[in-house]
Structure 1
């Protein structure tokens, strides 16, 4: 099945939506003869059908994306919900007992980065880990959504890498893990490269997931390992909280993280590639903190 993906891209002060199909790129505004922004894609009121028809007609030449950079394929400043301990294989490798119960922490939108962006090591982030995740992107305002119809509120999916700080200094004596320090540094969570409309992902619980570090496979699993499904997560969050178009749910990571495996944490310069079958491939490089970089220059 051919899949149409939507990239949010920028060059200098210019932003545009680029539709990708069969490895070819098309400026959405040129295709339709009118301005198109990411909100139009998220709330799809016939736009995807129009884009596919225009590409099929061959009316507009392809677009070069050389020199353009990827932005996270969602609105500015979305709410970011992150599932914890939600893959059976990941829970097992940590030596814990699986609990089928939704659990989410919340990150600020400043954690987000795009495909190709460098991920700067946070101050104090000596042990830095990777986490490939399927990201569900909300398409319409939603509250008290039933699990049976929860997938209907989605705009689509993208790939995430919930890069995480590890270490004993993150454990608060009363509250446990300090999620703010562990997860919420600026730019620590890249997503992308594109939004895949939900219609092109018939079963979000049957997607192969892989993450490599410098070409070495570190995570290789499937969304079938989720303890709480995407639909059940949407239902659980909207029981208390209204979700708006562009809000994100990072739905959990499978086995293979450095913390639970061999302790080979991310070094400066390491290139991570997170890939989910039918959704996309997300690539980012770890770079030193500004302080560390300055220290090295002064030695």
Structure 2
């Protein structure tokens, strides 16, 4: 078997722990493994957990007020005001030039939708609100879908199946399984329901930076991708499309990702820490 690059390096003179031995076993078998830096300390995990609590509270606040007739710019203001008033920083604001504090993605917009005074929520819309919070230097990231009023049965099913895909991905992510196990389970469920999985975007490591390794693809084969080791923190955020999985980026703003066929898309996201017993959800 072809050997991958050596990521897990134990300093000379340091006695091997049981974790070291287990990860080195997989590395020596040619599997991709994390670096030791990706294994968060208990202190870091607690910091990320606190950030996750604030991130959840922000989304709860949005859930209280989101309604027909509201502009997506109003959602942005709510996210900014609540986050800052509770000691946090909205991570998207000015990140690589992104101009707002939250991503609001309506109907055929897959992700990275930019809030606007001109974009007014209408009856039947489905909306993804994606919030990332920095609290005391730690990051937490989650998104939820909202249905505005009453929508079509097809859109309702899409939103439901997207959430089921996240839940199935959670169950597939076990200690010393692989990123590919998550994607494989998600893709199977989406296809079974007649939907497709976006391939150009993925989940990611997070916690001490906005985006870290690994890339968490939402499609793939079992036993591939990076080994999932206790102490790793990452998101799972499947983007499920009603039609084709292909997407394009709006040329005018350089951010908004739209389905190629302009059919609706839905996404749910949590941040997790891998434990010895499976994933602990750090955001809701």
TM, length-normalised to structure 2: 0.27
TM, length-normalised to structure 1: 0.26
Greater length-normalized contact order (CA 8 Å, ≥ 6 residues apart): 1
Higher strand share: 1
